[in-house]
A and B are shown apart, each in its own frame.
Chain A
């Protein structure tokens, strides 16, 4: 039986050739686009990964104040870290763009150069130029290149993985190879640069590292932090000036506390020594008094006066003796004796008071010494807390946190996500379209199936028969799509934007294995699943029911349309009859719009970024300072920026706590005086899904502290993830001095020593950088728009054609009755116009809303806000375009109505 049925497969293909060609084309095109977009992304991803491996890309890098000592290097080596100096100077060239070149030595071990053309420099007269900079400046191997008054011969053009995204500063929002590029020279030439003294700022001591087997980034970082130096070792005068005001003052405080403690201890020790003699002094005084009293008693006895003078009674007794005697001399003597004894007693008591005082003073001083010691400890602790010991390390950056590394790969993640989502949408649509075809096919062959059934053909035989053609067609179409994509015909267009932005070599387009499986297996699998489900359901009817082609006329199809005009009622009946096709039209439109909206969101996001960045950036220059001056320069607005991390959807993003004054003219923000209730930027709120009143946490990896905040207000600001605080509150929170700042916003360029500046961001840079994204995304936007329009047209055409084909008999019938073409069109086609019109009215906002919710996941790795707000006119244009496309398709299909002749009725009858 299968043999006989198989013959019908070819006949079915011939009979419905156009339908299968259209379906096949749609699948092939879908696969082609998905494979091209995803394959292109994967090619660049794999290419950059392979290059990273090949050129021994660093695991991270760090900067230091002074080059590491041999001892430090050995210690790191013992830990298992391989490091290599990647010191550099920045030189500003006297070209039209006033571009900056970053001079490196040619690397030997880590981040080696991959040459696009030419070779490494042979001697000190040669130089290697980074590819993108060379392209932007029209440089090629053999050309001359002048830096700092010395002319070099370009020995090669190359790329390095640590400048995949060749941005000058890590904080830059975009790469601008017109303005910046790394170059590489021999060690000898580098020394010459060092000696030239013409560099923009002092040499940067950057090291790249590779981690050993059991070494973690955190361990290495901890060790590097422990490498402390004496501030005087740093030969940067700007550092020294800054250090005197900050770290130096703290050193003095610690020294004063030490001195105070030492002095207090000396006093205490002296008093202790003094108090040791207190008993002797008191004993001596007591002894003198007692001796004098005894001498007095003896003298009285010798003069015949019998009395016993004691310390307690001598005054009274002497007075009594004096009063009882008439002898004036005796009375005088007794008076003198009393006076002397009294003086001696006072002396004795005075000494006792003195020694007691000394004891008390000693005890007090001892307590004071303890207190001062505690003060000293506290000062030491406090200064330890503020890291008074100068760590040599000034920056530590892992490969994952370095925006220059794998910049292409991160950018392509969006393409891959978008491609995969578009593919899934396409296959949902494909499944539905196939199901419509299958249902149409089975319904039109109902009596044949019933007859075969009644003759003993099994359901599995029929299943196999009906599944064969869709499976073969979808497989061939998938294969064709993948094969065409594998030629890389469109890949260069998709990848070109990356090659003209990132610093990467050209990679040959390769389709990864999983995309082959995806292309070859998914379409037939979808076809099998849909067919099996639909056919099983259709074949569950009895043979007789199939032979009679009894259709179930139930549910919504039986809706009463009394009172409605004939034409309206007819159209509704037709729509209900063709509900599956009608739904396919709407679903096709919806899914095509969904794909379209991916492109729209990409475009709108980039466009909004470009506009918002220009609107929101009120400053002309933003200086991020390494060594701020004591006084804020005139005309500049000081701020305090502190970078923390916050993760979203598996990615870790830099967020900045920005301390500003209430009257800062560059931000429309009144931060208030709370350390918790903060104002955040709209881009921050969009990216992390925060609303007013919600709480959130950011992490300070450096200090291993988490800061919890509550959203007091969201301000419209797109360019950065800022958390605004009052600058004084922030200084207090971070333990900085009352006048501390590290960022300056200005309207005019400041005459500031470049050595003080970590990064300068001009408004121009921000605006130019923002517009770069549009260029990067545009090929994909065009591709998706083209694909969605094509899908819309193909699905619309196929489904409306199915509707018409299914109505062939009825159209023939009403032709028999005398209906004209216009009237037939009115009944059978114009109704679809309303479906499309109403469907588009619902599908456009719905698809946009859905895509707006999905979009953040597609660009989860991108550090920007999510303003995908689209102007109203765009919706109007899309709506009108859909109607025009439909009318164009309708015009083509009207011709099909002519093909149905009244004879169709006769054929069916006979």
Chain B
């Protein structure tokens, strides 16, 4: 397994406000898979993603990425893990507003010696003509494409996507998903996608459902629907 999550527990608060968000979750994801994590609000899907991304600490359990244990990593080692292995895509893009598209992508290009070709990536993502624009001058879809480019430039082993289409309209969402599908194929990037959208599960290899901090469903799709054919996005 490329991603091995074993019996992780995570809670917030104390006393009356104590909430256990993840209650011994164990799950694995194959290398090169597109995996969707679904669940209702408060089910723990984003927390799981954050723990895998090293953004949040677990109370107990183990997370291995490509065989490397990441639980307990701190400081520079944790930074190195994120720098070497991960790419992040957020719902609200989180672009640096005072940097141009190209400069936003360079933020992550700077972190690796083996960066993908910037021009090619810009071309693939349809950003070549927008590369010198600032985020405020772009549409939502363009901004998300920029965020994807930023995440991909360092060719991460694992791409963590938190509601990547959550702020986009249906058409733009489809475009983004098509793009992600293409990247997965072209670069073999393993993707963990947290989403509310029920259609997206049909395009991925692996689907995980979380309910009240526990895995309620965990299956592989026998048949995947190409992103461009997805309905009700």
Contacts and interface: CB of A to CB of B under 8 A. Distances in A.
A562 B132 contact: yes
B94 A813 contact: yes
Contact of B111 (A553, A561, A570, A817): A817
Interface string A545-584: 0000011010001101110001101100110110000000
A817 B83 contact: yes
A816 B134 contact: no
B209 interface: no
A689 B115 CA distance: 66
Contacts of A558: 134
30 contacts: A550-B136, A551-B97, A551-B136, A553-B137, A557-B98, A566-B106, A566-B107, A566-B109, A566-B110, A569-B103, A569-B106, A570-B99, A570-B106, A570-B107, A574-B98, A576-B98, A813-B94, A813-B96, A815-B79, A816-B53, A816-B88, A817-B107, A818-B80, A818-B81, A818-B84, A819-B111, A820-B76, A820-B79, A902-B54, A909-B94
A909 B194 CA distance: 14
B111 A818 contact: yes
Interface in B101-151: 103, 106-111, 132, 134, 136-137
A87 B226 CA distance: 117
Q: Which of A566, A576, A816, A820 has the most CB of B within 10 A?
A: A816
B56 interface: yes
A47 B144 CA distance: 74
Contacts of B132: 560, 562
Contact of A566 (B54, B79, B103): B103
Contact of A906 (B50, B81, B96): B50
A814 interface: yes
Interface in A401-425: none
A909 B111 contact: no
Given A566-B109, A816-B55, A817-B82, A573 B88 contact: no
A553 B107 contact: no
A562 B102 CA distance: 9
Contacts of A814: 107
Interface residues of A, number: 32
Interface in B27-53: 46, 50, 53
Interface string A878-910: 000000000000000000000000110110010
B136 A905 contact: no
A810 interface: yes
Nearest to B55: A902
A560 B100 CA distance: 9
Contacts of B193: none
B86 interface: yes
Given A566-B109, A902-B55, 10 more contacts: A570-B103, A813-B96, A816-B82, A817-B111, A818-B83, A818-B111, A819-B79, A820-B79, A903-B56, A906-B56
B6 interface: no
Interface string A784-810: 000000000000000000000000001
Nearest to A818: B83
Contacts of B97: 551, 553
Interface string A118-134: 00000000000000000
A909 B164 CA distance: 12
Contact of A817 (B88, B92, B98, B103): B88
Nearest to A901: B55
Interface string B70-93: 000000100111111010101110
B92 to A, nearest CB: 6
Given A820-B79, A902-B55, A909-B92, A553 B136 contact: yes
A909 B92 CA distance: 7
A813 B53 CA distance: 13
A909 B90 contact: yes
A564 to B, nearest CB: 9
Contacts of B103: 561, 566, 569-570, 573
Closest 6 CB pairs between A and B?
A818-B83, A818-B82, A577-B98, A566-B106, A902-B55, A573-B98
Contacts of B109: 566
Nearest to A576: B98
Interface of A: 550-551, 553, 557-558, 560-562, 566-567, 569-570, 573-574, 576-577, 810, 813-821, 823, 902-903, 905-906, 909
Contacts of A821: 76
A567 B110 CA distance: 9
Contacts of A561: 103
B83 A819 contact: yes
Nearest to A910: B46
A909 B91 contact: yes
A820 B80 CA distance: 8
A551 B135 CA distance: 11
A903 B54 CA distance: 10
B88 A553 contact: no
Contacts of A576: 98
Contacts of A810: 96
A737 to B, nearest CB: 84
A457 B93 CA distance: 32
A818 B110 contact: no
A69 to B, nearest CB: 91
A819 B96 CA distance: 15
A823 B106 CA distance: 14
Contacts of A573: 98-99, 103
Nearest to A902: B55
A900 to B, nearest CB: 13
Interface in B205-231: none
A565 to B, nearest CB: 9
A256 to B, nearest CB: 100
A902 B73 CA distance: 14
A821 B80 CA distance: 11
A815 B46 CA distance: 18
Nearest to A564: B103
A701 B96 CA distance: 75
Nearest to B53: A816
A813 B99 CA distance: 13
Contacts of B94: 813, 905, 909
A550 B97 CA distance: 10
A550 B136 CA distance: 8
Nearest to B105: A566
A572 to B, nearest CB: 10
Nearest to A569: B103
A570 B100 CA distance: 10
A813 B88 CA distance: 10
B55 A903 contact: yes
Contacts of A813: 94, 96
Contacts of A574: 98
A906 B137 CA distance: 24
Q: Which of B54, B80, B82, B86 has the most CB of A within 10 A?
A: B82
B110 A906 contact: no
Nearest to B109: A566
Contacts of A905: 55, 90, 94
Q: Which of A566, A574, A818 has the most CB of B within 10 A?
A: A818
A818 B99 contact: no
Nearest to B50: A906
A284 to B, nearest CB: 135
Contacts of A823: 110
A107 B61 CA distance: 99
Contacts of B136: 550-551, 553
A561 B101 CA distance: 12
Nearest to B92: A909
Contacts of B134: 553, 558
Nearest to B160: A816
A906 B49 CA distance: 11
Nearest to B94: A813
Contacts of B137: 553
Contacts of B81: 818
A550 B110 CA distance: 28
A906 B84 CA distance: 21
Contacts of A560: 132
A902 B162 CA distance: 14
